[in-house]
């Protein structure tokens, strides 16, 4: 089968056409679109697929960040699933409106092709209750307010790539514009840094990560910020951008850190936040056999990896982020989308 994988993230849009058969997954086309609108991204996909010799997709798979409490397994998109996705948009307002726009556009362009939703939350669906519950009243938990965890397709791809070399106790640091750290025991998620939404956990490019809830109450009560203003603050104006006042892009902060103390501070705070989360996951696992870095920063920023590991030698991790205890693997979300889509729609 030829599967079109559409992967809308918080800062970019990735797509690829993959041939999936009993031998595995082969990339026929792969590209990334930075910036622009969802409509621009879909137009880029259509232009790429119109190239001579390019086969038409048999099905379309979509990365969906959040399916809410009702959708915890990958699913073929029908009217009922689409309605549940629309209801879940409140859980991930930074991602879901774009994803829904792309789904509707893809349905119009490929009306006779099945569409599949592949959820980032699925990998964490079996997380133990002690990690999944939030310390809030039970009636709110019953409404779906719980810790879901994210970056699941990326994490699945790491587990798959390791295969027979999968360690018993592994911590995966997915570090990109969005970032999370996950404790994985025997290939299963048992705890993770993100919670109800992809805004929680680590400091990120423009997202705050975890905040004292009193900060939000103070801004609500004393400065009169309403819900849209608070959402803009925690999703678009905080994190590395908010600390540095320069950029949420780690590459730009590295370029500026020699001349700007706030850029250096942003990097140091990011490193410390990741280091603390890795240490927390080591405690959850009762030790660690391997730390895996993935994501744009995790895969490409050797200086940040080394700084994170420098404070983790006590856990048996090499201070220079190398050797058998530390590994760098590329996230292969799109290939996972292709696999899940083919499995769900194969005759």
| Secondary structure in 3-state letters for 197-226 | CCCCCCCCCCCCCCCCHHHHHHHHHHCCCC
Q: Is residue 114 part of a domain?
A: yes
In a domain, 205, yes or no: yes
Give me the CATH number covering residue 106. 3.30.420.40
Q: Per-residue DSSP letters for 93-157?
A: TTTHHHHHHHHHHHHHHSTTS-EEEEETTGGGTT--HHHH--SS-HHHHHTT-S-----HHHHHH
Q: Is 98 inside a domain boundary?
A: yes
Instruction: Tell me the pLDDT band of 55, cut-offs 50, 70 and 90.
Output: very high
Q: Stretch 88-117: mean pLDDT, rounded?
A: 92
Neighbours of 128 (CB within 10 A): 12
Query: 317 and 171: one domain?
Result: yes
Same domain for 125 and 8, yes or no, is yes
Considering the domain architecture, whether residues 18 and 126 belong to the same structural domain is answered as yes
Average pLDDT, the chain: 95
Mean pLDDT of 278-283: 98
Angle made by CA atoms 199, 202, 207, in degrees to the nearest 5: 40
Residue range of the domain that includes 223: 164-328
Question: Could you tell me the pLDDT band of residue 347, with boundaries at 50, 70 and 90?
Answer: confident
Query: Distance of CA 252 to CAs 117, 208, 244, Å?
Result: 34, 18, 10
Q: Do residues 245 and 111 both lie within one domain?
A: no
Q: Which residue among 120, 191, 235, 334 is the active-site one? A: 120
- Contacting residues for 263 by C-beta, under 8 A, at least 6 apart: 244, 246, 247, 253, 256, 257
Considering the domain architecture, whether residues 75 and 169 belong to the same structural domain is answered as no
Q: What pLDDT does 120 receive?
A: 97
Q: Give me 178's structure tokens.
A: 């969005």
pLDDT for 156? 98
170 and 272 both lie in a single domain: yes
Whether 246 and 276 share a structural domain: yes
235 located within any domain: yes
Indicate whether 7 belongs to any domain: yes
Residues 128 and 183 in one domain: no
Kindly state whether residue 159 falls inside one of the protein's structural domains.
no
Instruction: Examine the domain organization and report whether 79 and 59 are in the same domain.
Output: yes
- Shared domain for 75 and 108, answered yes or no, is yes
Distance CA 150, CA 199 (A): 10
Helix axes 79-88, 96-109, angle to 10 degrees: 160
Q: Are 167 and 292 in contact (CB under 8 A)?
A: no
- The whole-number pLDDT of residue 122 equals 98
Same domain, 140 and 173: no
Q: Is the pLDDT reported for residue 317 higher than 80?
A: yes
Residues 319-325 have a mean pLDDT of: 84
Is 153 part of any domain? no
**Mean pLDDT of all residues in 104-121:** 95
Residues 253 and 202 in one domain: yes
Q: Does residue 157 belong to any structural domain of this protein?
A: no
For residue 41, the surrounding DSSP H or E stretch is helix 38-49
**Domain total of the chain:** 2
* 191 in catalytic set: no
Query: What is the reported pLDDT for 320?
Result: 85
């Amino acid at each position: 089968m030829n599967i079109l994988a559409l992967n809308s993230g918080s800062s970019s849009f990735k797509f690829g056409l993959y041939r999936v058969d009993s031998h595995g997954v082969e990339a026929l086309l792969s590209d990334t679109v930075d910036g622009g609108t969802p409509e621009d991204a879909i137009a880029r996909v259509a232009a790429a697929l119109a190239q001579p010799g390019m086969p038409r997709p048999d099905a379309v798979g979509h990365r969906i960040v959040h399916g809410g409490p009702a959708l915890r397994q990958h699913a073929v998109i029908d009217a009922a699933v689409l309605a549940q996705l629309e209801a879940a948009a409140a859980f991930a307002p930074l991602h879901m409106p774009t994803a829904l726009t792309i789904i509707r556009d893809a349905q119009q362009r490929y009306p006779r092709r099945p569409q599949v939703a592949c959820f980032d939350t699925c990998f964490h669906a079996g997380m133990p209750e002690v990690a999944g519950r939030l310390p809030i009243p039970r009636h709110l938990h019953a409404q779906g307010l719980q810790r879901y965890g994210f970056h699941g397709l990326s994490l699945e791809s790491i587990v798959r790539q390791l295969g027979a070399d999968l360690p018993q106790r592994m911590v995966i640091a997915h570090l990109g514009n969005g970032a999370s750290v996950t404790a994985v025991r025997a290939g299963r998620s048992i705890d993770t840094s993100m919670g109800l939404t992809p805004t929680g956990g680590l400091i990120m490019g423009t997202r705050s990560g975890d905040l004292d809830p009193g900060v939000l109450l103070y801004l609500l009560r004393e400065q009169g910020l309403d819900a849209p203003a608070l959402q803009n603050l925690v999703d678009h104006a905080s994190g590395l951008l908010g600390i540095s006042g320069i950029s949420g892009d780690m590459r730009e902060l590295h370029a500026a850190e020699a001349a700007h103390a706030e850029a250096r501070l942003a990097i140091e705070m990011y490193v410390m936040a990741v280091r603390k989360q890795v240490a927390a996951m080591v405690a959850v696992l009762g030790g660690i056999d391997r730390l895996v870095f993935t994501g744009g920063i995790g895969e490409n920023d050797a200086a940040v990896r080394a700084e994170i590991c420098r404070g983790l030698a006590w856990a048996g991790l090499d201070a220079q982020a190398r050797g058998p205890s530390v590994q760098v693997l590329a996230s292969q979300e799109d290939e996972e989308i292709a696999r899940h889509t083919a499995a769900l729609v194969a005759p």
